[in-house]
Structure 1
Amino acid sequence: MHKTSAWPLSGAYALLVVYASLYPFSGWRNQQIPPWDFLFAGWPKYWTGFDLAANVVGYIPLGFLLALSFIRRGNVRYVASHPNLAAIAVAVLAGTGLSLVMEGFQNYLPSRVASNVDFGLNVFGTLLGAVTATALEVGGAIDHWSRFRERWFIPEARGALVLLALWPFALLFPAAVPLGLGQVLERLEEAIAEWLLETPFLEWLPMREIELQPLVPAAELLCVALGAFIPCLLGYTILRSVGRRAVFAVVAVALGIAVTALSAALSWGPTHAWAWLSLPVRIGLLFGLVLAMLMLAVPRRGCAAMLLMALVVHLSVLNQAPASAYFTDTLQAWEQGRFIRFHGLAQWLGWLWPYVVLVYVLLRLSRREATPTIPA
């Protein structure tokens, strides 16, 4: 890892924390109380184990990235004798400051509640992340990851690795079709129509006038298969060998299944974690894995071209179907329930991930690649 490569990641994650803390950014009001008043309040009346865990987990990556960024700067003035302790201290101070500001701003949002418990858990999460990063650095795990990355991936793999790391988080947001990311056309039409309401331009909008029918089982099977196939192809564009591609494909499909089950459990309860695994879905997952295996020996540029076609077909078929009323109720539970901390961020990931991959693939195909062959 480059000495300063973690700084942009920590900054980007801090922005994500800001987004998740202040979503939905509407209904601001002044309660005529100091923004720091929550520090002296009692134990909150309403809380859940999920809320406590979320406040800790949400700040662990921030502490991890901040501490790692500080450590990787090398010889730092005034703290060269204790750089690891200094990294933990800097990360915790930064996380504490960010959490304090976010909780203060939440006083002005009607849908959010500032809490000293949340603040304390955020600080604890930052500390856990910072200590973890320091322990991994001292134990040499970060250097092991750097060597692992060099063996498995091509040098220009950073963009694809970031997209692959975001894919499981995008799957956490409920999807109308399992692994079906990018279904935005219906909501986009509704938003544009609402925006153009009471204007003559509404008649110009090419709205689909026919009543859309739900996806037939064959179309659902195709969407699931392509949803599993797409991340495999994305990995193939940066992996160095056929054997590593095979391992990656199996792990990617298994991870997609596990995260989709987790999303269902969070949305409908643990007893319904596997309710989405219907016959068309099971066949689609198997078909997607078979397609991935058939592409093992294809050169990277060929995989990128196939990925482009798979994305276009997947998004085209997926956006021809409307969201069911049951699916709409699920989204409302995320918007208004305990998932409001993650709803805005998760929905944008679920909507935009395939389109960002589409842009990334187009950029990859527009460049020359020096080593198109894949060793066995």
Structure 2
Amino acid sequence: MTEAQDEAGHPRASPVARATLLAYLLLIVYASWFPFSGWRNTGLSPFTFLNLQPQRYWTGFDVMVNIVGYMPLGALIVLSLYPAVRGVWAVLVAGIAGILVSGTMETVQNYLPSRVPSNLDLLTNAGGCLAGAIIGACFARSLLDQSRLYRLRRRWFAAHASQGLVLVALWPLAQVYPQGYLFGNGQVLPLLSEWLSEWLDTDIDLVTMLRGDTIMTVEQYWLSETIITACGMAGAGLALLCLTRRGAPKLWLMLALMAVGVVVKTLATSLFFSPDNALAWLTPGAEGGFLIGLIMLAGLAFAPQVAQRRLAVVTLVLSLIVVNTIPANPYFLSTLQAWQQGKFLNFNGAAQFLGMAWPFIALWFLLLPSHRLNRN
């Protein structure tokens, strides 16, 4: 999980842990302040929730989610501080950071009509962060210096691949939010239309403005989904492959990434809605696109890394163009209305952000000059 040790054998900091910490903080912010609309000032002190009054309405599920949701934050803070700060001091720093992060999230929620700040949320979030910090401190050395995962990281992936591995690991999670097309991440125009409509107080549909009133046929929808699915998975797979060394099991790594993406998509659909709809995303267009994507990745698995990186950029850009210039799939919309949404809908803000932002972050990373250093 970390870079190689220095020449004297001393442990070094983990760029993977720090990049993961940054990504997780962004997800916490988005999930805590979603939907970022309706901001208002109630006239009350933003710290009113800091009282000793017990919360009237709460459930065991909410408490569990608050604790579990902040445990990775505490663990990642400890792993990011290692080896400069270790042990009790790292746990103390993580605990204080958990209080500050959670307190900031709850304070800002005073200005959102759809969110309710709570002293119970602050307590459980901070407790979860502290628990995660203790676990992280107990396993920091074995995870970062001595683990089999660390040795595989050095053997299979290039030295500069740390941030890229975090990005690739987030790709399956980017499939959690319900999307009209399989692997159709980066659909920003509908969200921009919604924000502009609210800001300008008028109905704006950027997709319609770009396309006009052209009506798509069923065959065109299928073709579009095939392109989106194939390019979306090829972009993610190539982003992984261009991080690997020559001796890495490229095909197996690529297949594992695709398998995890499909499993996460299936489980998320089942949890968000109902088990009967777990495979609702498996349409003819998705099947064809998945097969084409696998063929593309298999053929490019051992191509030069420069070619893999450039083709990853091309496929991601093509997927973004198509997914943002076609109207919503009417079959998906009708199915979405018929689904019964479950408890995990509370996480749709963070899931939507990750699904929307992943291709753009991937493009930024793939265009970094550090890739030119990967020659082994």
TM-score range, shorter chain: 0.7 to 0.9
Q: Distance in 2 between matches of 1:100 and 1:359?
A: 32
Helix, strand or coil: the match of 1:58? Answer: helix
Q: Distance in 2 between matches of 1:367 and 1:8?
A: 17
Shift of 1:239: 0.5
Q: Distance in 2 between matches of 1:38 and 1:332?
A: 39
Shift of 1:272: 1.6
Q: Could you state the TM-score of these two structures normalised by the residue count of structure 1?
A: 0.80
| Aligned: 1:312 with 2:317 | yes
Query: Hey, what does 1:231 align to over in structure 2?
Result: 236
Would the alpha carbon gap of residues 38 and 184 (structure 1) be closer, same or farther in structure 2, given more than 3 Å must change? Answer: same
Helix, strand or coil: the match of 1:171? Answer: coil
Pairs within 5 Å for 1:230-249? 230-241=235-246, 243-249=248-254
Shift of 1:295: 1.2
Shift of 1:98: 2.5
Query: Hey, what does 1:92 align to over in structure 2?
Result: 95
CA deviations 1:221-245 (Å, max 9, x no partner) are 2322222222110011111136521
Q: Are the aligned partners of 2:103 and 2:122 in contact in 1 as well (CA < 8 Å)?
A: yes
CA deviations 1:264-283 (Å, max 9, x no partner) are 12332233222222344234
In structure 2, which of residues 35, 47, 53 is the aligned counterpart of residue 35 of structure 1?
Answer: 47
| Aligned: 1:346 with 2:358 | no
Would the alpha carbon gap of residues 223 and 167 (structure 1) be closer, same or farther in structure 2, given more than 3 Å must change? Answer: same
Query: Hey, what does 1:142 align to over in structure 2?
Result: 144
Q: Distance in 1 between matches of 2:25 and 2:262?
A: 29
Aligned-residue sequence identity (percent) comes to: 35
What residue identity is the alignment partner of 1:3? A
Shift of 1:354: 1.4
Query: Hey, what does 1:61 align to over in structure 2?
Result: 72
Helix, strand or coil: the match of 1:216? Answer: helix
Q: Distance in 2 between matches of 1:284 and 1:246?
A: 18
What residue identity is the alignment partner of 1:237? C
Q: Are the aligned partners of 1:107 and 1:114 in contact in 2 as well (CA < 8 Å)?
A: yes
Would the alpha carbon gap of residues 73 and 243 (structure 1) be closer, same or farther in structure 2, given more than 3 Å must change? Answer: closer
What residue identity is the alignment partner of 1:73? A
More deviation, 228-237/15-24: 15-24
More deviation, 159-168/37-46: 37-46
Q: Distance in 1 between matches of 2:274 and 2:150?
A: 39
| Aligned: 1:70 with 2:97 | no
In structure 2, which of residues 303, 315, 320 is the aligned counterpart of residue 298 of structure 1?
Answer: 303
Shift of 1:114: 2.1
Q: Are the aligned partners of 1:228 and 1:256 in contact in 2 as well (CA < 8 Å)?
A: no
Q: Distance in 1 between matches of 2:373 and 2:50?
A: 56
Q: Distance in 2 between matches of 1:333 and 1:102?
A: 33
Q: Could you state the TM-score of these two structures normalised by the residue count of structure 2?
A: 0.80
Q: Distance in 2 between matches of 1:11 and 1:208?
A: 37
Q: Distance in 1 between matches of 2:26 and 2:154?
A: 29
Task: Count the aligned residue pairs.
Answer: 355
Query: Hey, what does 1:266 align to over in structure 2?
Result: 271
Pairs within 5 Å for 1:147-226? 147-188=151-192, 207-213=210-216, 215-226=220-231
In structure 2, which of residues 97, 118, 128 is the aligned counterpart of residue 125 of structure 1?
Answer: 128
Shift of 1:34: 6.8
What residue identity is the alignment partner of 2:182? P
Q: Distance in 1 between matches of 2:161 and 2:180?
A: 31
Shift of 1:93: 2.5
Q: Distance in 2 between matches of 1:244 and 1:141?
A: 22
Q: Please list every run of 5 or more consecutive structure 1 residues that lacks an aligned counterpart in the other structure.
A: 75-82
Shift of 1:167: 1.4
Query: Hey, what does 2:13 align to over in structure 1?
Result: 3
Q: Distance in 2 between matches of 1:267 and 1:282?
A: 22
Shift of 1:256: 1.0
Query: Hey, what does 2:57 align to over in structure 1?
Result: 45
Q: Distance in 2 between matches of 1:57 and 1:136?
A: 18
Would the alpha carbon gap of residues 292 and 133 (structure 1) be closer, same or farther in structure 2, given more than 3 Å must change? Answer: same
Q: Please list every run of 5 or more consecutive structure 2 residues that lacks an aligned counterpart in the other structure.
A: 3-11
Would the alpha carbon gap of residues 313 and 183 (structure 1) be closer, same or farther in structure 2, given more than 3 Å must change? Answer: same
Shift of 1:325: 5.8
Cα RMSD (Å) of the superposition?
3.5
In structure 2, which of residues 108, 112, 115 is the aligned counterpart of residue 109 of structure 1?
Answer: 112
Q: Are the aligned partners of 1:212 and 1:320 in contact in 2 as well (CA < 8 Å)?
A: no
Q: Distance in 2 between matches of 1:168 and 1:278?
A: 19
Q: Distance in 2 between matches of 1:333 and 1:91?
A: 44
Shift of 1:188: 4.0
What residue identity is the alignment partner of 2:119? N
Shift of 1:316: 2.9
Would the alpha carbon gap of residues 106 and 347 (structure 1) be closer, same or farther in structure 2, given more than 3 Å must change? Answer: same
Helix, strand or coil: the match of 1:89? Answer: helix
Helix, strand or coil: the match of 1:35? Answer: coil
Shift of 1:258: 1.2
Q: Distance in 2 between matches of 1:309 and 1:147?
A: 32
Shift of 1:353: 1.7
